[in-house]
Structure 1
Amino acid sequence: MILGAFSGGIGGALVFLAISAALTGLYVLATGRRSWAFLPAKRKAGAVALTVAFALFIAGGLAMPRSATADLQAASSEGTASPASAEASATATATPTPSSAPTVQETGAPLDPESPSLLAQGASVAAPKSQPAFATKAVDLLATLPSKGRAPKTGYDRALFGQAWADVDRNGCDTRNDTLKRDLTGIKYTNSVPCKVRSGTLADPYTGTTINFLRGTATSSAVQIDHVVALSDAWQKGAQQLTTEQRTAFANDPLNLQSTDGPTNMQKGDGDAATWLPPNKGFRCEYVARQISVKATYSLWVTQAEHDAMARILADCSGQLAPTNEKAPVAAAPSPEPAPVVAPAPAVVAPAPAAVAPAPAVVVPVPAPAAPAPVAPAPAPAPVVPAPVPAAPAAAYYANCAAAKLAGAAPLYAGSAGYRPALDRDSDGVACES
C-alpha cells in the first residue's frame, strides 16, 4: 500500500489493497482455512473478500491520476500485444510528417475531416504541392518523377486515407456522389436536393461501353469509383510520408477519381501502369497522364517497370498534356505604337518674272515662264498595329459530352482543348456535335 501510495497516490494505495484482499479471498475460498487477515474459515468469507477487493479496485482506478492509469494499462498489456499491432505502432512512430499542420496522431482528433475539432486546430485537407503548370506535357512531367523500388505494404489500412468518401469540399455531398454527378448524364436524385444520385447513365471511358446506374443494395456496385492511382499503390510509393490530411486529400481528389464499370474496377485492384491498363486503348494516354499528374502533385514515385510502361503509352501520343486545374496564362494586350510624325513638305516658291527691256520699235512682250505646280505632300503612312496574340487554349478535361455542353464548350474540334477521341464517336474530328 505504501508503494502504491507513492506511485499513484490514494488511488494506487486502494489498488494495492484490492490486490491484497483479492489474494486473501481466493486463499480462503480455495482452502476454507483462516488467512493472515483472520477471516472466518468459511468459503463465504472468501467470496465477500473478493467482492470487497473488486470494489476497492474500481475505486482505486477512479482515484488514480490519469498518467499513472495509462502507465498501468501499458504495463499490463505489454506481454499481450500482437506482432501486427506492435509493427503498426512502430510504423506510425517512425513515419515522418513533413507538414507543420497538426496530424490526427498529434491532436487525437478523429479521422473524419469534417470534425470541427480537426478543423479548429488548423489542420488542412490539401495536397503537398500544386498541380503541374498549364500546358505541361505528360512525357516531360514523367521525367521528373523519381524511380524507386516498391516499399513494403506493411501497415497499410484504408483508414489511413481518412474517412471513406468524406465531404472535403464542404458542399453538403460526399465525394462519391460528387463524382457520380460529374461523370453521369440523365441524373435523377433520391429527393429534391441535388446530392444523392439515384440513377443515371455512364459513358465508361475504361471500357468504352454505356452503363445504366441505379442506386440499390444489389445494383449500386455496377458503377464504382476508381482511384486512378490506387491507395495501396500510393502507400507503397511515398504516401507513408504524407500527413493524414494530405492522404485524405489524395483519396478525394477529383483528378484521381473516375466512375467506371464495377467488375473492371475490381479487376484492376491496386495495379499500376505496369500491371493494368484500361481495356479501352483510346483512353490509355489520358489515363496514364492523369496518373502522372496525381503522382507529381502528391510527391509519389514510380517503379522502373511502371515508368517504362507509361513511356511506351505516351510514345503514341507525345503531345498529351498532363491534366491540371491551372489556367492558361493571359497574354497581355500589346500597347499601340505612336503614329510616326511626318514633317510637312516645304512650300514651293514660284520664281519672279524676268524684267523685259523696252524695244525701240515694236515691243513684243515675252510671257513669263509658268510657275511649276505645287507638289502635294505624301500621305503619312498608317501606323502598324501588331495583331493580338491569341491565348493558348486551356487544357480541359470533360468526362463526357454532357459535361462539355454544361461548360459551354461543345462542339469540340480535334486539336482544341478538351477534345479526345473517346468523345468523338464517329471519328470525324468533331466531338459532342449533337
Structure 2
Amino acid sequence: MSSGTPRAVGAVVLGVAMLAGIGWCAEAEDGAPGTTGTPQSSQVDPGGPVSSSSSIPPAPPAPDAGGAAEPVPPAAPPADPSGDPQVIAAKVALPQLEVKGRAPRTGYDRDLFGQAWTDDVSVEFGHNGCDTRNDILKRDLTDLTFRPGTRDCVVLTGVLEGPYTGERIEFTRGQDTSSEVQIDHVVALSDAWQKGAQQLTEEQRRDLANDPLNLMAVAGWANQQKGDGDTATWLPPRREFRCSYVSRQVLVKERYGLWVTAAERDAMDRILAGC
C-alpha cells in the first residue's frame, strides 16, 4: 500500500467523527426557543415574564393595595303608592312604637291634661291669642264668618266636609248647634293616659291635648260614637279617610312616647299596608 493511502483513510475517519458531533449538538438543542422542535416542558413560571410569542394571556394587573374599592350605591327604596307624607312617615314610625298591655284607667281625669282648649301651649297655634277649638275650626272649615271684634278668632259659621263620615255640615255657633261639629282627639286622652301619658309632665300632657296633629273637626255624632277607642276598636266609617286617620294616631304616639297594644299595632299595620 502506498503512503498516501493511510492519509486518505485518516481524513475519512476524521470527517465521519465531525459529522457525528454536529448531529449530537443538534439533538441537544431541540426544544430551545426559536427551534421547531417540541418543547421539553409546557409549564410557565407564573412569577416570570411572559414572551410576546406565548399563547398564554398575561395575568390581569393586581389591584392597587392602597386604593379603596368603589362603593356600590344602595338601591333606592320603592316609592310609596299613597304619596301622602303622613302615611309614609307613619309606616316608618309604627315599627318603632313600644308594644305593651293597656294600663289601668285608674286616676284618669280630663283636668290632668290642662284647661280645655287653652292657648298656653308650646305646639302650633300656641300663644296666638285664640283658643285651640277656634284654631281648629278655622283650619278645617270653609266659608267662615267671625264674631266682630275678635280679630278673626271666634268662628260664627262655616262649612265642614266631615272627614270621618263624608257628610257636609253647615256649622252655626250656638247653644243648640255648636255640638254638631266637635273637635276630636285622634288619640283619645283616656287612651293616651293608659298608654304612657301618666309618665308625661303636666306641660307635655297639655301640649298633647292641644296639638293640631291630634285634633280634627268632625261630625259630633261620629265623635261620640268613637269615644276613647283606638285603632283596634274604632275606625272612621268613611274608608277613604282611614289611612290619614291611622297615620295621625301613629305619629301622635311617636311624638309623645306613647305605646300601643299588640291588637292596636296589628290593626294599624293592616290599615297602613293597604294605603
Per the TM superposition, whether the score is higher than 0.5 is yes
Where has structure 1 moved over 4 Å in runs of 4 or more?
133-136
- Alignment partner of 1:181 is 2:120: no
Say which of 313, 318, 330 aligns to 2:271. Answer: 313
Amino acid at match of 2:185: H
The reply to whether residue 137 of structure 1 matches residue 95 of structure 2 is no
Higher relative contact order structure (alpha carbons within 8 Å, sequence separation ≥ 6): 2
Helix, strand or coil for the counterpart of 2:198? helix
- 1:136 CA displacement: 5.0
Map of 1:211 onto structure 2: 169
Mapped to 1, the partners of 2:272 and 2:88 lie a distance apart of 13
| 2:86–2:248 CA contact under 8 A, matched in 1 | no
TM-score (normalised: structure 2): 0.66
> Which residue matches 1:424?
none
Deviations 1:85-107 (A, max 9, x none): xxxxxxxxxxxxxxxxxxxxxxx
CA–CA distance in structure 2, aligned partners of residues 134 and 235 of structure 1: 24
SS in 1 for 2:205: helix
The one-character-per-residue Cα deviations of 1:123-182 (angstroms, maximum 9, x if unpaired) are: xxxxxxxxxx99953222100001100000000000000010001311111000000000
Aligned counterparts of 2:217 and 2:167: Cα–Cα separation in 1: 12
The Cα RMSD (Å) is: 1.4
Distance (whole Å) between structure 2 residues aligned to residue 143 and residue 240 of structure 1: 22
2:113 maps to 1:161:
yes
Q: Which amino acid is 1:146 matched to?
A: E
| Alignment length (residue pairs) | 185
Deviations 1:235-261 (A, max 9, x none): 000000000100000000000000000
Of the candidates 151, 175, 191, which is equivalent to residue 148 of structure 2?
A: 191
1:48 aligns to what? none
Query: Which amino acid is the alignment partner of residue 263 of structure 1?
Result: W
1-structure distance, mates of 2:218, 2:89: 26
Within 2, Cα distance between the matches of 1:208 and 1:135? 20
Compare CA radii of gyration and give the structure with the larger one. Answer: 2
Q: Distance in 2 between matches of 1:242 and 1:268?
A: 24
Asked whether 1:238 is paired with 2:196, we answer: yes
| Deviations 1:315-369, CA, capped at 9 Å, x for gaps | 111xxxxxxxxxxxxxxxxxxxxxxxxxxxxxxxxxxxxxxxxxxxxxxxxxxxx
Alpha-carbon distance change, 201 to 299 in structure 1, aligned in 2, over 3 angstroms: same
Which SS does the other structure have where 1:198 is aligned? strand
Identify which of 264, 272, 289 aligns with 2:247. Answer: 289
Q: Helix, strand or coil for the counterpart of 1:314?
A: helix
For residues 115 and 264 of structure 2, what CA distance do their matches in structure 1 show? 29
Question: Which one-letter code corresponds to 1:276 in the other structure?
Answer: W
Structure 2 counterpart of 1:159, one-letter code: D
Amino acid at match of 1:148: K
SS of residue in 1 equivalent to 2:97: coil
Question: What is the TM-score of this pair, normalised by structure 1?
Answer: 0.42
Identity across matched positions, percent:
64
